[in-house]
Structure 1
Amino acid sequence: MTFLQRTFTSLVHAHAGRTQGQATSFAALSGQSCRRSFCAWLRHYCTKSATTSLPLLAALVTKGKHMLNLRVLFLAFAFIGFSVEAIEKGNQLNQEQYIPPVMPEYPESYSDVMTTLAPYYQAERPLDYFFELYVISTLNKLPKETEVALKEFNDKHPSFFESTNGDWKSYVKKQLHLSNTIEVAIWELWIRNSINAENNGWEYHPWHYARNFLDNYSVEGSKVDIWEDNSLELAKQRILEYRANGN
């Protein structure tokens, strides 16, 4: 159950508890059976429709004016107000629930590589494709089938990674002038953001993360892979602890 779901469930439980307490108050205020019956009916009606309009409520009170006193009317208004507030909060929480994008399947063949690479070529940024795969590979999330498919791609297009003797990862590092600490940055941000995503009820797909990492790394004035004071050593320690736990 997600954080937002738990919060909404708590509101529902609070709503149920409040309703039960008010049922006792209604009964205590009504000395006659018909009055109790009408209050029970009114409570049921308010529960079914928390958005009961004031004119309709006024009509209901007029209909039962011989059975309701002013205190019962006040409690009815309070109950409706609480119901509306609880529903509005629940709707707001549902609207705030983040839905991650659907990511493509990892390429498992030369044909798959060409298919997933095509949109990047059309956008004239094929290097971004391989940088994203580089990020995924750094996290040890790239399937072996993809590694094999990339090798086949290199065999069919030897000129692409020719400057690094067919090593596509070295090619990415060379072309983008990546530092020797880029992998620390990739891991450190992955740990923080994937845990945060899990705490908020959704799973951070590695390819989704790779795209976000690329966007943040490429933006002007980016602080990604910029280390101050002892932040680099602290990041390395967090990574060691995280991976020591089997992650």
Structure 2
Amino acid sequence: MSIQDHPRYGENPIYLFLEAYIQDVIGYLPKEKSDSIQSMNIQKIFNTQASEWHSVIEEILHLSSNIDVAILDLWYRNREHFKSDSGECDPVWFSQIFTDEYMKDDSQVDVWPEGALEAAKERIKHAQSKS
């Protein structure tokens, strides 16, 4: 099945790249997959100024400088909900849900009321110190 035929990615191939970005931020994207995306030369496809694939995704989706905080905070706070039958955390499932929520017209995923960004950074620091 090609990407165009896939029910999730056919109309929104950018979802595939955003999901890879999310998986990379949470530390679950294999280096080979990251290298493969980089070798696709997506900056030419999307005609961006950026050349590194992370930066290309940030540029074409107009991701904020705090998107990694939003991703990590939601991952650490909710990873227990993203466990497979084997009990392992499922980063692909998380990245799909995050992408769906982020792409909604009224998304609040990366909206930070006063004090929320700082609190999220503290939660991340605490979660990472336990790892």
Q: TM-score range by the shorter chain?
A: 0.7 to 0.9
Counterpart residue number, 1:163: 48
Per the alignment, residue 22 of structure 2 pairs with: 135
Which residue number in structure 1 is paired with residue 106 of structure 2? 221
Q: What's the offset of the Cα at 1:204? A: 3.4
In 2, Cα distance between the equivalents of 1:150 and 1:179? 21
Percentage of identical aligned residues = 31
Partner residue, 2:37: 150
RMSD: 2.5
Name the structure 2 match of 1:181: 66
Give 3-state SS (helix, strand or coil) of 2:89's partner: coil
CA distance in 1 between partners of 2:87 and 2:21 (Å):
23
- Report the secondary structure of 2:45's partner residue: coil
**Larger Rg computed on CA atoms:** 1
Q: How far is 1:209 from its partner?
A: 0.5
How far did 1:172 drift?
A: 1.1
| 1:184-223 correspondence runs (5 A) | 184-197=69-82, 202-223=87-108
Runs of 4+ off more than 4 Å: 115-118
Query: SS of the residue aligned with 2:48?
Result: helix
Structure 2 residue runs without a partner (length 5+): none
CA–CA distance in structure 2, aligned partners of residues 125 and 224 of structure 1: 19
Whole-angstrom CA distance in 2 between matches of 1:187 and 1:228? 17
Query: In 2, distance between residues paired with 1:122 and 1:232?
Result: 31
Contact 2:43 2:49 in 1 (8 A): no
- AA partner of residue 17 (structure 2): F
Whole-angstrom CA distance in 2 between matches of 1:140 and 1:163: 25
Aligned-pair CA distance for 1:202 = 4.2
CA distance in 2, matches of 1:151, 1:120: 24
The answer on whether the counterparts of 2:48 and 2:60 sit within 8 Å (CA) in structure 1 is no
C-alpha distance 231-122 of structure 1, shift in aligned 2 (>3 A): closer
- CA gap 1:207/1:122 in 2 versus in 1, 3 angstroms: closer
What displacement does 1:164 show? 3.1
Instruction: Could you tell me which runs of 5 or more consecutive residues in structure 1 were left unpaired when the two chains were aligned.
Output: 1-114
The structural deviation recorded for 1:197 is: 4.4
Distance change >3 Å, CA 137–CA 202, structure 1 → 2: same
Amino acid at match of 2:35: V
Match of 1:242 among 115, 118, 127: 127
Q: Distance in 1 between matches of 2:8 and 2:53?
A: 16
For residues 234 and 153 of structure 1, do their structure 2 counterparts lie closer, same or farther at Cα, with a shift above 3 Å needed? same
**Corresponding letter in the other structure for 1:180:** S
Task: Write out aligned runs for 1:4-153 (5 A).
Answer: 117-118=3-4, 119=6, 123-153=10-40
TM-score normalised to the size of structure 1?
Answer: 0.46
168-177 or 235-244: bigger deviation? 168-177
Alpha-carbon distance in structure 1 between the residues aligned to 2:116 and 2:14: 29
Deviates more, 1:129-138 or 1:158-167: 158-167
